[in-house]
Amino acid sequence: MRLDGALGVTVLSILTIFLVLTTGGINSPLFPLLYFSAFAIGFMLRPFMVFVFVIVVALFLLSDILKGDVISNLIKIWLLTFIAPLAFFLARLQKKQEKQDEKVEAIKERAEDSADTISKDVEEIIKNEKEIHTESTQRLNEILEETEELREESKTK
């Protein structure tokens, strides 16, 4: 069984929380894995889910925070809560970039389709019209050249 995307990150995060809880809670040597899980959740799920993750982790570790070295425990939780906004904003930025990339790709495809359509229409006019003036033929050839340039330009960007 292969776990992809959101399901994989969710299972991985649950396993990470479980490992941290079973290996010493807040004093676990695996505790820093929770930082990476926060970023993974932000990038693979919706960015706001990072805050939900941090709240869930804090609730699970609430009893451990006040045991032992309280200052060290509070610093660890504080770092986790500090990472949450960073993961949120980076994930949101990445999602915006993905949307922009999709828009750019759609524009490139439309430009290429438009160039193909114009090119076909001009070639059809040249073939079908026997009595086209020389000026019109030259202008149509210029249009063909411009559409070819447009097609090449859309491929390189």
Domain boundaries, the chain: 5-99, 101-156
3 has pLDDT over 70:
no
- Residue 154: band (very low, low, confident or very high) from pLDDT cuts 50, 70, 90: low
125 has pLDDT over 80:
no
Check residues 128 and 96 and name the one with the higher pLDDT.
Answer: 96
Structure tokens at 19: 């490992």
Global pTM exceeds 0.85:
no
Structure tokens at 107: 């524009």
Cβ-defined contacts of 103-108 (< 8 Å, 24+)? 104/157, 108/154, 108/155, 108/157
Are 37 and 28 in contact by the 8 Å Cβ rule? The answer is: no
Lowest model confidence (mean pLDDT) among 20-24, 28-32, 84-88, 130-134: 130-134
